[in-house]
Amino acid sequence: MVRAVIALLSLLVLPDVSRAGEVRVAVAANFTAPMQAIAAGFERAGGHKALLSFGATGAFYAQIRNGAPFHVLFAADDETPARLEREGLAVAGSRFTYAVGALVLWSSREGLVDDSGEVLKQGKFARLGLANPKLAPYGAAAVQTLEKLGLAAALQPKFVTGENISQAYQFVSTGNAVLGFVALSQVTKDGRIAAGSAWVVPSHMHDEIRQDAVLLAAGRDNAAARALLAYLRTPGTVALVRGYGYRQ
């Protein structure tokens, strides 16, 4: 009797590996750390495996248009998933906002960046890192912020531009650029700036960075893809995402 009860409990607790599948996921670079944690939890919870690719949203859009076999897109904006829906490359009605990002001016040096961004006006730095504004929404938000401050033209010669926000972060963290615009999630740990100095850019200085996920046409019949999108809405995952500095 005891063995029968144990066997029944194991069926309830353990994922059904025989039904487990794989989902190929294109993920905006700013969401790298939380997505890695989410994928690990997703596999433990249901046995499905998420195969993750990280990069710039604009680059993923071009790849998907050219037939890249992704099942799900986690974009750094809301326009790209909407466009894919309009073009028939994503499943209509599957799109939702999984995170609202925040932009931060950051330096790995303590005390360099003040809490109002005045360091930008002083211009006493050789390079300013940011993501490509044509490919990455965080890069576009950085340029909008500089335009709002009236500094875009003056500082443009100092731009060091990465293909995505991960490259922009690398420029700053390695000192190739003494400061730069990155995602708050990249420099946040337990709700605080983990190292260096930072100015969290007020949200009114750039377009809201609404990040939408969408089920792509290639994932329409993929059970793991649909399960992953459902997993994003669970309370534990929502709390995890907020812990990385995102709003929802």
What average pLDDT does this structure show over 122-138? 93
Q: What is the reported pLDDT for 10?
A: 39
pLDDT at 1 over 70: no
pLDDT bracket for residue 2 (50, 70, 90): very low
The encoded tokens of residue 4 equal 């029968």
Mean pLDDT of the 105-129 span: 95
DSSP 222: -
In CATH terms, are 2-100+209-243 and 103-200 the same topology? yes
Residue 68's pLDDT band (boundaries 50, 70, 90)?
very high
Measuring CA to CA, which residue among 162, 134, 148 is closest to residue 30? 162
SS3 content of the chain, % helix, strand, coil (to 5): 45, 25, 30
Average pLDDT over residues 212-225: 98
pLDDT of residue 19: 61
Token couple for 21: 């599948």
Helix axes 165-173, 137-149, angle to 10 degrees: 60
pLDDT at position 16, please?
Answer: 47
CB environment 122-150: b (16+ within 10 A), e (fewer) = eeebebbbbbbbebbbbbbbbbbbbeebe
Q: Could you tell me the residue ranges of all domains in the chain?
A: 2-100+209-243, 103-200
Question: What's at 163, amino acid-wise?
Answer: E
Whether the predicted pLDDT of 14 surpasses 90 = no
pLDDT given for residue 248 in this prediction: 76
Judge whether residue 73 has pLDDT over 80. yes
Alpha carbon of residue 219 to chain centroid: 20
Split at pLDDT 50, 70, 90, the class of 192 is confident
Helix spans in the chain (H): 2-13, 32-46, 57-65, 79-86, 118-122, 137-149, 152-155, 165-173, 184-187, 223-231, 235-243
- Across the range 148-154, mean pLDDT stands at 97
The DSSP symbol for 156 reads: G
Whether the predicted pLDDT of 12 surpasses 50: no
The yes-or-no verdict on residue 113 having pLDDT over 70 is yes
Residue 11 scores a pLDDT above 70: no
Alpha-carbon distance 150 to 221, whole Å? Answer: 49
CATH 3.30.360.10, applies to 2-100+209-243: no
Asked if the 103-200 domain carries CATH number 3.30.210.10, the reply is no
Q: Is the pLDDT of residue 6 over 60?
A: no
